[in-house]
Structure 1
Amino acid sequence: MEVERTFVMVKPDGVQRGLIGEVVSRLERKGLKIVAMKMLRIPKEMAETHYAEHREKPFFNALVSYITSGPVVAMVVEGKSAISVVRNLVGKTNPVEAEPGTIRGDLAMDIGRNVVHASDSPESAKREISIFFSDDEIVDYAKVDEDWVYER
């Protein structure tokens, strides 16, 4: 079984609305494994690095301002096809277009307050994980239910 790691963040709106547990619960109920998690207030420099691909876009400063406005919960999530599985659980970026049953489809109303961020590719996942976590903060462990989640 090929396991992937991806980056997930509950954004300031999700934290303020008390949705951390809901997001974590949905990830875990799916069968994904959280291998790192922390709450932090993102410094401006870290936010600019995280959103570097948007630097030249008109919404960049507003994005940095928003993501640094309050605490977030950053996670490394692991599982088979974790990147695409998490993206499907999260739903489309614009909650108006997100399917019911997805995190954004169920819990968000506005693209600028869409509760959660999730890496969109293996390259993004690797880069984003390295921004928020050092290697020694990621815990490698086996869950007792893995034989019930994955066919071997």
Structure 2
Amino acid sequence: MILFPLPTTEKPVQANIKQARPSFSSPLTLDASPPLLPHPSIAPSLRSALPQPHPCAPADSRRPLLEGTMEQTFIMIKPDGVQRGLLLTRSFLAQIGDIISRFEKKGFYLKGMKFMNVERSFAQQHYADLSDKPFFPGLVEYIISGPVVAMVWEGKDVVLTGRRIIGATRPWEAAPGTIRGDYAVEVGRNVIHGSDSVENGKKEIALWFPEGVAQWKSNLHPWIYEA
């Protein structure tokens, strides 16, 4: 017996599968356009749109929220901060440590830095306003016990903000996240010094950097400051 295939009316279906590929009429190019920053003419309107403090609020809180002045402050990493490696994680030239990076990440500019030993007479001059305190002799001995790192930082409201980054003088009162809150235990080993006012900052900078400091501005300035 011979078997023949039955006729069929269905036509074979041919799969028409194409690989999906993006189609570009022209080569893709990246346009290195200049950054789009707010035009200076609209800055006042942006400031006026912010909520303003109540007129009866204390004077310190009544300044506009975006107001700030470029200031300089003196910051010193004390001998204990240097000896504990809080300044540098590997070597002096290789990698900046946590203390310096906190100020830099905030948006402040390092204008001057010295790694130095302090003479007794110089330490006495720096802490002259504390000369009548019973702890003054011990403070001087502490500062001259090892090298320090003296720095000048610049930025808007850097004096007040710098003090907040540093934390309270008494480490047990310093909030976690501040330098002293994270690294200090004893008030006599509180790691770091920072100017407590703009006026004292000017005096300390003149004392420690009589030759002046570097004049420069980062290319990131318009991404940190409005003006």
**What TM-score range do you get, normalising by the shorter chain?**
over 0.9
Q: Which amino acid aligns with 2:73?
A: T
Q: Which residue of 1 aligns with 2:226?
A: 151
**Where does 1:1-152 land on structure 2 (aligned, <5 Å)?**
2-20=69-87, 21-136=97-212, 138-152=213-227
Q: Secondary structure, in 3 states, of the residue corresponding to 2:154? A: strand
Give the number of the structure whose alpha-carbon radius of gyration is greater: 2
Is this contact kept in 1: 2:109–2:217, CA < 8 A? no
Q: What is the Cα deviation at residue 149 of structure 1?
A: 1.1
- Superposed structure 1 runs of 4+ greater than 6 Å apart: none
Unaligned runs of 5+ in 2: 1-67, 88-96
Distance between the aligned counterparts of 1:63 and 1:127, measured in 2?
A: 19
Higher RCO (Cα < 8 Å, 6 or more apart) = 1
Aligned-residue offset at 1:39: 0.5
Residues in 1 aligned to 2:206 and 2:98: alpha-carbon distance in whole angstroms: 25
User: What's the CA shift string for 1:5-26, capped at 9, x where partnerless?
Assistant: 0000000000000011211011
Amino acid paired to 1:143: S
Q: How many residues align?
A: 151
State the AA in 2 paired with 1:40: M
**Cα distance in 2 between the residues matched to 1:62 and 1:127:** 23
Which structure has greater strand proportion?
Answer: 1
- Once residues 150 and 38 of structure 1 are traced to their aligned partners in structure 2, the CA distance between those partners, rounded to angstroms, is 27
> So what's the TM-score if we normalise by structure 2?
0.65
**Match of 2:113, SS?**
strand
Q: Deviations over 1:113-151 (max 9, x none)?
A: 111000000111011111111243x00101011111112
Higher helix proportion (structure 1 or 2): 1
CA distance in 1, matches of 2:158, 2:196: 10
Residue ranges of structure 1 left out of the alignment (5+ in a row): none
SS at match of 1:69: coil
What is the rounded CA distance, in whole Å, between the counterparts of 2:121 and 2:80 in structure 1? 20
Give the AA of the match of 1:144.
N
**TM-score, normalized by length of structure 1?**
0.96
